A and B are shown apart, each in its own frame.
Chain A
Amino acid sequence: MNRNDILKIIYQELEKVNADHIPLKEQTDMTTDLNVDSVSVMDLMFAIEEEFDVAVPLNDLADIRTIGELADLVEKIGAA
């Protein structure tokens, strides 16, 4: 799987809940920059898991803040 593909899905899913239309970048902190609740961030994982056939533990998600970090995590789990 390609990191850019992962980013594309993250942007696409986050855009659905990004009601305030805050520009999304790799550095965007999903926990503070976006007015998106934690449940929405968890829910976007289902789309990613399906697309890339991975399972991301909630434990790993706890430390993730930016979109770039999330992409790194999915890439790492996918490669394992």
Chain B
Amino acid sequence: MGDIFQKFEHIKKVRGHFLEQSACNPLGIKIDEIYSPTQARILGQDCIMLGTNNYLGLTMNDEAIAQSVEATQTAGTGTTGSRVANGSYQGHQALERRIADYYDRKHCILFTTGYQANVGFISAITGKDDYVLIDADSHASIYDGCKLGDATILRFKHNDPENLAKKLARLPEDANKLVIIESVYSMLGDIAPLKEFAAVSKKYGAYIMVDEAHSMGIFGENGRGLCESEGVEDQIDFIIGTFSKSVGTIGGYCVSNHDGLQDLRYAARAYVFTASLPPAIVAAAHANLDTIQNTPSLRTQLWNNTDRIYDGLKAMGFTVGPHKTPVIGIQMTDIESGIRAWQILFEHGVYVNMALPPATPAGVCLLRCSVCAAHTPEQIDKIMDAFETVYRTLYGTPKSEAA
């Protein structure tokens, strides 16, 4: 008998590198206690959370908590069944209608996570003779959905509509084609040229799906995402979303005007063969969705905070992503300086996420920061002070000072 775990040796070597270099391992963090959407105690130390996906700070929204407690008391802690069996409660149906109305689309289908929404949707909707064209930097759930389906999968260069056009031009005219992009990419926070992608897809008769995981709640007058703010919603066939970022809970969905979306309730295995969301989660998502739509001031606050942090880091001299969004990926020159920076931040009571290849594009080591609407001006002062120390320690005088 061989060693079935042998295949993990390489990744263990990379990760082991971390442990050797630091007393506390950025990839093995355990959170002792959560105080608020922006504060926690980690390894006995109080930290400002700058590494979440809690963009609007809604994880402790009073209304959502109250609704979710009530839902648990009336409907229990779980459904113990699939949506196609005993797991389709009134709450699930009401939430689907609420989301469809929110997006002004005919149909919405709810999944148990965003991961499952991508895997379920993509693998079910594409068949043997179909083509799926995905952005090279797509999220793992998009890749996995492709892997589980039967279609021919082509990758185009990241955020490159011209490269997509070249690939589409080769395909049989009468074949079904589905283009898949994200609106804001989760590592560098860079934004897709939606208008161009929509135009290319239309030109070649392809369907287009946009994953708005990191833009819903952040862009658009109603918070529907980048498709709303760019005014391209009517050109997008399918939007995939998640509750695990701005909505502050868990769950995923797909909305569309195509009546065929309803067929996924039978065809998508990630919908059929898993239990539906618990009543507490459904109620929390519903309440937070209301808050997102009705509280544009949360978005104003988030963007004000983003201005301070993104502009400040850039002025100091850090290499940040090309677009200003609440997802800020700071590129470190190598893993060693990444770890050092992470530790200095941690010692100063600032927690960020550390991201390594293959989860990052182009093999870079990233300090993945995410801004929250609930960060206070004082917390941002502390955050910027901590980054200044990092800069001085690693690179010398910040550019903002030298100038």
* B363 in contact (CB, < 8 A): yes
Asked whether, in the complex, the Cβ of A37 is within 8 Å of the Cβ of B358, the reply is yes
CB neighbours of A46 from chain B (8 A): 136, 157
Chain B contact residues: helix, strand, loop or mixed: mixed
Q: How many Å lie between the Cα of A20 and that of B3 in the bound state?
A: 24
Contact with B along A39-75 (1 / 0, CB 8 A): 1101101100000000101110000000000000000
Q: Which of B146, B152, B153, B155 has the most CB of A within 10 A?
A: B155
Chain A hits for B30, CB < 8 A:
none
Is there a chain A Cβ closer than 8 Å to B170's Cβ? yes
Q: Which residue of the partner chain B has the closest CB to A56? A: B154
Q: For chain A, which range describes its interface: under 10, 10 to 19, 20 to 34, or 35 or more residues?
A: 10 to 19
Instruction: Let me know if B155 and A17 touch, CB within 8 A.
Output: no
Q: Given A37-B357, A39-B358, is A57 in contact with B152 using a C-beta cutoff of 8 Å?
A: yes
Q: How far is the CB of B197 from chain A (nearest CB, A)?
A: 18
Q: How large is the interface on B (under 10, 10 to 19, 20 to 34, 35 or more residues)?
A: 10 to 19
Q: Is B167 an interface residue (CB 8 A)?
A: yes
Q: Which of B146, B155, B357, B363 contacts A45 (CB 8 A)?
A: B155
**B10 at the A/B interface (Cβ < 8 Å)?**
yes
In contact, A55 and B167 (Cβ under 8 angstroms): yes
Say whether A35 faces chain B, with CB atoms less than 8 Å apart.
Answer: yes
CB-defined interface of B355-396 with A at 8 Å, one 1/0 digit per residue? 001100011000000000000000000000000000000000
Asked whether B363 lies within 8 Å of A58 as measured between CB atoms, the reply is no
B149, closest chain A residue (CB): A59
Query: B-contacting residues of A (Cβ < 8 Å)?
Result: 17, 35, 37-40, 42-43, 45-46, 55, 57-59
A42-B136, A45-B155 are known; give 7 further A-B pairs, CB within 8 A. Answer: A39-B358, A46-B157, A55-B170, A58-B146, A58-B153, A58-B154, A58-B155
**What would be 27 A-B contacts, judged by CB atoms less than 8 Å apart?**
A17-B363, A35-B10, A37-B357, A37-B358, A37-B363, A38-B358, A39-B357, A39-B363, A40-B358, A40-B363, A42-B155, A43-B136, A43-B362, A45-B155, A46-B136, A46-B157, A55-B167, A55-B170, A57-B152, A57-B153, A57-B154, A58-B146, A58-B153, A58-B154, A58-B155, A59-B152, A59-B153
